Chains A and B, each alone.
Chain A
Amino acid sequence: GAGVSQSPRYKVAKRGQDVALRCDPISGHVSLFWYQQALGQGPEFLTYFQNEAQLDKSGLPSDRFFAERPEGSVSTLKIQRTQQEDSAVYLCASSLAFVDRTGNFYEQYFGPGTRLTVT
């Protein structure tokens, strides 16, 4: 079945290089999330899209991080001038819709992640 896919699965970048990580969410999913997972830690929220609108980017660690989802489907996370502390697994997740305060919950489906190593 078509789950969330991410590419590349592995990326090695030299410090200072720019990288672009791609996420293909499940077709029809409105919400898309990016998380960063450092080695041995739990994922940490980076940013959230509802369709093409970036509604929350409070987790982006610096202005070197930029995410877009121009047509409300595929999303790209770009990291400029990579630093060693950017080394992590970047996870993308999508869900069918936005959860509302009545308690409706739409499960987030995660991709396999992109492991970024900055040397």
Chain B
Amino acid sequence: SQQGEEDPQALSIQEGENATMNCSYKTSINNLQWYRQNSGRGLVHLILIRSNEREKHSGRLRVTLDTSKKSSSLLITASRAADTASYFCASTVLTNTDKLIFGTGTRLQVFP
């Protein structure tokens, strides 16, 4: 069973708008990551935030983490049509492997 639940399941916006996706997880984590998956292609790592961090930026991406609420959000600013993809949060938990536990994903559609 999957660790994370994401909302919304689907999001449609116009180019230039911001997109916010939320992720909730169930157990204590080591870190949380966000991935992008384009149709028919593999997963691409976007950004990682550690359990002792609250916010992180990378280009147009901003990630927040609230460990008290077991939740994270991904904000994409000034979206582009090329941002159209599915976005997944994935966490690593405190075990002896760094296997990723993925959420259910948000399908983002950016219209030009």
Q: Which of A42, A59, A95, A101 contacts B4 (CB 8 A)?
A: A42
With a cutoff of 8 Å between Cβ atoms, the chain A residues found around residue B103 in the complex are 42
A105 to B92, CA, bound (A): 10
| Contacting residue for A112 out of B41, B88, B92, CB 8 A | B41
**Which of the residues A48, A91, A93, A105 comes within 8 Å of B97, measured between beta carbons?**
A48
| Cα–Cα distance between A31 and B41 once the two chains are bound (Å) | 21
Contacts of B43 in A (CB 8 A): 43, 91, 93, 110
B45 within 8 A of A: yes
Q: Which of A75-93 contact B (CB under 8 A)?
A: 91, 93
Tell me if B96 counts as interface (CB < 8 A to partner A): yes
**Residue-by-residue, is B100-111 near A (CB-CB < 8 Å gives 1, otherwise 0)?**
111111000000
Interface size class of A (residues with CB under 8 A): 20 to 34
- The CA-CA distance from A55 to B90 in the complex, in Å, is 20
Complexed CA–CA distance, A45 and B97 (Å): 11
Contact B105–A42 (Cβ < 8 Å):
yes
Query: Which residues in window 1-46 of A have CB below 8 A to B?
Result: 4, 31, 33, 35, 40-45
Total residues of chain B contacting the partner, CB 8 A: 27
Of residues 38 to 68 in B, which have CB atoms within 8 Å of A's CB atoms? 40-45, 48, 50
Q: Residue on A with the closest CB to B45?
A: A107
Interface flag for B17 (CB, 8 Å): no
A31–B97 CA distance with the chains assembled, in angstroms? 9
Q: For the complex, what is the distance from the CA of A35 to the CA of B105, rounded to whole Å? A: 15
Please indicate the chain B residues that have their CB under 8 angstroms from the CB of A40 in the complex.
Answer: 105
A99 to B92, CA, bound (A): 10
Question: Please, which residues of chain A bring their CB within 8 A of the CB of B88?
Answer: 42-43
| Further contacts, 14 of them, CB under 8 A, given A45-B99, A56-B99, A112-B40 | A42-B2, A42-B4, A42-B105, A43-B102, A45-B101, A56-B95, A95-B98, A98-B97, A106-B98, A108-B98, A109-B45, A110-B42, A110-B43, A112-B42
Chain B residues with a Cβ under 8 A of chain A: 2, 4, 30-31, 40-45, 48, 50, 88, 90, 92, 94-105
